[in-house]
Structure 1
């Protein structure tokens, strides 16, 4: 476990400074790591075929379901408790080992069934090799939870950067060597293995696992509730691949899954990193009446100030972006990306709520909201699949506003946050981003014939300049609040 000296230093540091440093390290390392990974990813996209990504997407359904059962929710309970001793931490570590080694065995045995469901025999060998990921998972989750408890994301950031470099080097080397779809199997193994090793070396943690759970009822009860929410979230977000995998060919599924990957970069890569910092930060504020709600409003405003123009720009520049970065073979993903980009603002705000409500000891709120999604989204996908990949994208756009309304209705009373206060943080950036998106779309129509790269460069420059001006005109208070938070003068969260 982290040393007593480290705990004393953390306790002596003001909360706002600790959170600011955590955000800078977590988001900064995430950005740097993703830049490294993207340079590799987009190179590999040009070397592999859409069908390879379709096969990989099918394996991710199985791995994603197993990941929900890996015990992360029980480790998260360690972040929230006021006092933590090595015995209780050892009990959680024991649970992590039992769960993940069991998952590895289950995936080995279930691989033929998954291959039969998707009508893809190659999945058997892929899933069996990928079961190694589960064996590494306890040695990643445990140190991450202990470091998050101390709001120490510097150590995590350093480990993640080295792991990202390992994955980024492995992927193109394998692709150039002609490994094909196995490139997509090898890179995550290199990333996970390196992350586990670096967290062990840099985190300097060691806890003896304990397999008797007597006295850990509160941790397991909290973790179990979060686990239910996570399972429902999986159903909500993986139902599209489960449904489309039986109706589309591998190439069509690859275009859809990579279009979804592109539009969900912020949602899947950056927002979760901020949520990791937000959860322990909100937990420290839970005793202060109204502090979590106000901090949530400010944080949501700052995140949407950055996210909304990205989504609007993505919708407006989908064609030159995909042709320039991914290549002509991915042209079928263009209409998919345009539709999905319009749904992502709703997804982003929707996933900001759980860290705040969970920190207040109300994990049932997130579970109820995701239960609604686990019903509505699969139903929408069953309709959308009849209209091909674009129909699946339209299902996201039709359903996510409804889910956001449900999660907002459930969460705001718990946060003691008036809707008008949240609206004051969200609506001005939304207006600025919408106007910017319309301006870029109009410019795209008026530009003469150009290659994808020059066209993309001109449109991005126009979008950056126009959004900067519009945000200063219509969202100035939100901009000032965001800058104050970055400088460490805003709310702690």
Structure 2
């Protein structure tokens, strides 16, 4: 049966004041983002050690399995569970229906991957891929026990307990990875660590949410779950075609060593977009769902999110472009220097992609998940086409494909989504400009400084430390002199103060929710 805490009644939240709701959203952001940062610090610290112990070819083999995993995982039913967040009210029977859907789908996916693994191995020409995929099928069996508790806690913005479990899972995964790498497990290190992390999350989230339910396989009356989830499902499918097609195309054309360099460069460049933005979107989706009937509040909060996020993302990506060489040499070692050209090109593309993925939680919360589905369809056409063309010039051509396709997808997504949100392309550009303009100036200056230090023969760690310090000081100074209003807005968000003077939105109701 569903425990008392899992009933998730809406009576209290219905009468909650705007200020109290805004406070809960801020708390959710702090817990979700803060725990994500801490978890990533733990993970990256171990990852740096593991990368030094493993070979690029291990990461090339692992990247091949990730393509298969990703293409099947979009069917894991997370979108069906997410429909419970967007709904105005739910009951225990709908929770049981969602749980039943999750169990059926993931058991089927595990079976498909287990028995279909030899086909993937034959495509890549590496028999070991089949063994890796069979063991990785265990990941699907954990998914129902992660997705349902996480979605239900997200609905009530209960990210504190969620964060604690995620931190525990990160520790378990990091410990498993380091132990396996030191024991000489090779590529199996990259397989066992996620399994340990997934199952830790599954047990932990089920326990802290007290979500002990019997699944229902009676799916009558769950049309809203199926309809909403199907749109999310297809959006995820198209997104996966877009994001995984490069490795899928490259895997059959290039050797595992070169593919490993490209795959790890992509992983490093995607850190901000893949690790820090999704947690914010997890909070944004239920928060936008709460204010979906206030069009002005949705518009104001969306532009505020773009503005604040680009104040962080733009210097990260522009800085990563110009310090890639000393950073890779310092953190990963000389054998990984082949990553540098890929990082430099892909980083600029992902700065635009960071803005693009902010649209989906808004349009989904407004009850229009089909909008993000069509945007993802555009990406599923643009990116594979660009990768197929770029592959003619090798992996560097595929990196350039990112930089060509990313702005086109951002424009397409904005054209589809902006009318629903009540914004224009010019509004989005203005919101991003306070972060992008100083970041570009900073990157040019740091780039020249990096060339000068390299010509002097200074070591990579010293160059990296000096360039990062120079970039931080220069970017901070540019914000202070040119974009002080944006800098003050960040400070107000951090210290939770209202502006002492200046324009105030027409109605404060719901405006500071996100």
TM over 0.5: yes
Aligned twin of 2:508 = none
Per-residue displacement from partner, 1:464-485 (whole Å, max 9, x unpaired)?
1001111222222222223323
Aligned twin of 2:472 = 464
2:142 and 2:95 mapped to 1: Cα distance?
Answer: 18
Aligned twin of 2:427 = 421
Unmatched segments (≥5 aa) in structure 1: none
| Residue in structure 1 matching 2:394, options 381, 388, 410 | 388
Maintained 8 Å contact 2:7/2:92: no
- Per the alignment, do residues 235 and 5 of structure 1 end up closer, same or farther by CA in structure 2, a change over 3 Å counting? closer
| Residue in structure 2 matching 1:481, options 485, 489, 508 | 489
Aligned twin of 2:457 = 449
Shift of 1:486: 3.0
| Residue in structure 1 matching 2:249, options 235, 243, 249 | 243
1:102 matches 2:108? yes
Classify the secondary structure of the residue corresponding to 1:286. coil
2:344 and 2:295 mapped to 1: Cα distance?
Answer: 42
Maintained 8 Å contact 2:7/2:91: no
Aligned twin of 1:491 = 512
1:303 matches 2:306? no
1:485 and 1:41 mapped to 2: Cα distance?
Answer: 32
Per-residue displacement from partner, 1:352-385 (whole Å, max 9, x unpaired)?
1000011001111111111111111101100111
Maintained 8 Å contact 1:233/1:374: yes
Maintained 8 Å contact 1:44/1:172: yes
1:4 and 1:103 mapped to 2: Cα distance?
Answer: 29
1:20 matches 2:26? yes
When the two chains are superposed, the root-mean-square deviation of aligned CA atoms in Å is 1.4
Shift of 1:6: 8.6
Aligned twin of 1:91 = 97
1:260 matches 2:266? yes
1:5 and 1:219 mapped to 2: Cα distance?
Answer: 17
2:492 and 2:427 mapped to 1: Cα distance?
Answer: 18
1:19 and 1:378 mapped to 2: Cα distance?
Answer: 37
1:319 and 1:240 mapped to 2: Cα distance?
Answer: 23
Aligned twin of 1:269 = 275
Aligned twin of 2:72 = 66
Shift of 1:424: 2.4
2:447 and 2:295 mapped to 1: Cα distance?
Answer: 45
Maintained 8 Å contact 2:415/2:425: no
Shift of 1:10: 5.7
Aligned twin of 2:318 = 312
Normalised by the length of structure 2, the TM-score is 0.94
Shift of 1:143: 0.2
Aligned twin of 1:141 = 147
1:192 and 1:289 mapped to 2: Cα distance?
Answer: 38
| Residue in structure 2 matching 1:412, options 402, 408, 418 | 418
Classify the secondary structure of the residue corresponding to 1:317. helix
1:209 matches 2:230? no
Deviates more, 1:204-213 or 1:46-55: 204-213
1:331 and 1:386 mapped to 2: Cα distance?
Answer: 22
Shift of 1:422: 2.6
Q: Which residues in structure 2 correspond to 1:35-434 (within 5 Å)?
A: 35-434=41-440
Classify the secondary structure of the residue corresponding to 1:290. helix
Normalised by the length of structure 1, the TM-score is 0.98
Maintained 8 Å contact 1:298/1:482: no
Aligned pairs, number: 493
1:135 and 1:319 mapped to 2: Cα distance?
Answer: 40
Shift of 1:201: 2.1
Shift of 1:138: 0.3
Per-residue displacement from partner, 1:139-194 (whole Å, max 9, x unpaired)?
00000000011011111100000000001111111001000000000100110011
Classify the secondary structure of the residue corresponding to 2:358. helix
